[in-house]
Amino acid sequence: MNTSETSQSIHEQIVTLLPRLRRFARNLTRNPHDADDVVQIAVERALTRLDQWRSDARLDGWMFKIVRNAWIDELRSRGRRAKIFLAAEAGEIVGTDSMARETELLSVQSAMARLPADQREAVSLVLVEGLPYREAAEVLDVPIGTLTSRLARGRQALQALLGTEGEDT
């Protein structure tokens, strides 16, 4: 009885987390379709592994970690997809990225999208999701010093891109 009640509430806790999981996944994948796919896979995985979740641990951190691992798995399986893409590129018109870079005032999201993946993950977990350093390092499976140096570099890059100096937004 007790276990089914507990797991029932975990389902609803995960439902409550869904908006944040999607947001984190979007920052990882930079693509909303991929993000939803990865969240779905992660939720399905999490539910089959509830026994691995220590109830004293934060559920959000645990779920972020599963989302991230699902994305890493997906990237691995994209070796073949890359070939399909390359073939498709033949008839592809090249984007106007450099032009946009000059004329577009960067939004926070597009500045984030330009960060290298490791910095983007660190920034996303700490600045967007509000995880303490220790939890964020745990999600990323790195020592805390690695997390803080990625975070510092990510912040520097964002400040350069956004020109936060003296802004009051």
Partner 1 sequence: MTISDEILMAYADGELDAAARAAVESAMREDPQIEKRVAAHRTLRRRMQAAYSVELSEGVPERLLRAARAGTSPPQARVVDLQDARAAMERAESRSRPRWPQWRIAGTIAASLIAGVGLGFFMWGQTQAPLMRSAGGALVARGQLAQALSKQLAAEQSRSSAVQIGVSFRAKSGDYCRTFALPGAVSPSGLACLHGEEWQVQTLTQEPGTVGGSGYRTAVSGMSELVLKSVEGQIDGEPLDQAAEKAARQRGWRSMDR
Closer of 54 and 99 to partner 1 (Cβ): 99
- Regarding 158 and contact with partner 1 (CB under 8 A), the answer is yes
Task: Return the residue of 49, 52, 72, 81 that touches partner 1, per CB under 8 A.
Answer: 81
Which 8-state DSSP code applies to residue 107? P
Which 8-state DSSP code applies to residue 126? I
Closer of 12 and 56 to partner 1 (Cβ): 12
CA atoms of 155 and 40, how far apart (whole Å): 30
**Considering the complex, what minimum distance in angstroms separates the CB of residue 59 from partner 1?**
12
- Regarding 3 and contact with partner 1 (CB under 8 A), the answer is no
Please give the residues from 10 up to 49 whose contact with partner 1 meets the rule CB under 8 A: 11, 14-15, 18-20, 22-23, 26, 29-34, 36-37, 39-41, 43-44, 47
End-to-end CA distance of the chain: 50
CA atoms of 141 and 166, how far apart (whole Å): 35
- Regarding 127 and contact with partner 1 (CB under 8 A), the answer is yes
Q: Is 27 in contact with 112 (CB distance < 8 Å)?
A: yes
Six token digits for residue 129: 């999701």
- Regarding 52 and contact with partner 1 (CB under 8 A), the answer is no
